[in-house]
Amino acid sequence: MKRITLFLILLAGCPVFSQNYDEAKVPHYTLPDVLKTTSGKTIRNEEKWEKLRRPEVLKLFEDHIYGQMPTDYDSIRYALTEDDGAEMAGKAVLKQVGITVFRKGNSVQINVVLFTPAQAKKPVPVFLLINNRGKENTDPTRAKKSEFWPAEMLIDSGFAIAAFHVSDLAPDNKDTYMTGVLQKLYPEQLKMDNGMKAIGAWAWGASRVMDYFETDRDIDAKKVIVVGHSRGGKTSLWAAAQDQRFAACVTNCSGNTGAALARRQFGERISRINTTFPHWFSNNYKKYNDKENALPVDQHMLIALIAPRPVYATNASKDLWADPKGTFLALKAAEPVYALYKIQSGLPKDPPGINKPVIGSHFGYHNREGEHDMTVYDWGNFIRFARKF
């Protein structure tokens, strides 16, 4: 056999991924109309959006991308395992909360680290991080400090800050992701093509922490901002879309199947994410490998599900994989739904330059100079954004 034939045979057997980083090669695309129902009705006011179109769009995301979000459980228990008094030189109080959720005789535990400002006279707003990185990033002892979760900075700004780790819900691993909440509480989801997988399980966890916040008198449960970076940022969007108790959403460098438009096919694509991370999204999502245009939704509609609540989306200039421009355009394409609530977007027509945050309206956006990461620069802007509301 000739060498070239052998090479072609080998090539045919493995997936070939090509990434486009060239704006000129972005294909022509038409986004699904967020305001048009499946039966062709045009939505003209917030009542009709909430009654007809919002539930429909939510269901499309469940069925085709993230999987269902089970909401039933038998009981939930909170155990405050530590409440030490003064932390951070007297500025903060540390709470470590074990949240145990029971269903049909089984249970899972979510461990939350929470700092609240010690001097607060009334319940405070809180940033909740869905932590997809190492647990040392949210070190309760503060021996280790990390820009990923700069607790001191948040406390100094008058906010509470909390985090839980995704592995409490579903290990971030294609072979073991099902060993958490899925096998223990919702095994039926594993049999369904529109069943919840890891990202759904993490978002489900964020809602259980929200359940806890509703019981904590130091926290203003009407002002919970759910935050995630990258795969965590895909999750924060899905959590806020599902659970309207979250007051606002921060999605940092969330890229494909996060805040970036899929149809642009820029940077990471659906086929690639489904192949590298088959445990993140529902089985049904695999049908859209290399078929972005066949999806009944695009990611602007996920942002629209969060309306009228504020959304802050970020990118980093060197993180083309996550498509900074596609993120900006997704926010822009969600504007018509916010307009139904008479909320005007302060976003400019074109993406702002690097390190030029746009914070004035319900849509926050910036493209930080540098790499794929979440830094104090990003957090500083989230704080400014949160203060507006």
Residues binding ligand GCU (CB under 6 A): 230-231, 255-256, 268, 273, 321
Nearer to ligand GCU, 208 or 231 (CB): 231
Please identify, using beta-carbon distances, which residue of 200 and 255 lies nearer to ligand GCU: 255
317 carries an active-site annotation: no
Minimum distance between the CB of residue 208 and ligand GCU, rounded to whole angstroms? 22
Distance in Å, CB of 255 to ligand GCU, minimum: 5
Task: Give φ, ψ of 242 to 5 degrees.
Answer: -75, -45
- Active-site choice (146, 207, 317, 372): 372
69: nearest Cα among 244, 257, 330: 244
Asked about 362 being catalytic, the answer comes back as no
- Smallest gap from Cβ 276 to ligand GCU, in A, equals 6
Q: 93-97: long-range contacts at Cβ-Cβ below 8 A with a sequence spacing of 24 or more?
A: 93/117, 93/118, 93/218, 94/140, 95/216, 96/140, 97/212
In eight-state DSSP terms, residue 161 is: E
Q: How far is the CB of 234 from ligand GCU (least distance, A)?
A: 7
Nearer to ligand GCU, 111 or 230 (CB): 230
Of 230, 236, 271, 282, which one is the catalytic site residue?
230
Which residue has its beta carbon closest to ligand GCU?
Answer: 230
Task: Give the residue among 173, 162, 229, 166 at the shortest CA–CA distance from 203.
Answer: 166
Neighbours of 158 (CB within 10 A): 14
Nearest to 45 by CA among 300, 305, 297, 336: 336
Nearest residue to 292 (alpha-carbon basis) of 320, 270, 273: 270
**Shortest reach from residue 268's CB to ligand GCU, in Å:** 5
Strand ordering across the sheet containing 75-87: 75-87, 92-103, 106-117, 160-165, 124-131, 219-229, 248-252, 311-316, 363-368
382 Ramachandran zone, left/alpha/beta (phi>0; psi -120 to 50): alpha
Q: Give whichever of 189 and 274 is closer to ligand GCU, judged by the CB atom.
A: 274
Residue 301 Cβ vs ligand GCU, minimum distance, rounded to whole Å: 19
Sign of CA dihedral 239, 67, 280, 204: positive
C-alpha distances (whole Å) from 359 to each of 85, 148, 160, 300, 386 are: 35, 21, 21, 19, 9
* Closer residue to ligand GCU (CB): 91 or 372: 372
Tell me the three state secondary structure of residue 231: helix
Residue number with CB closer to ligand GCU (117 or 267): 267
Q: Could you list the active site residues?
A: 230, 372
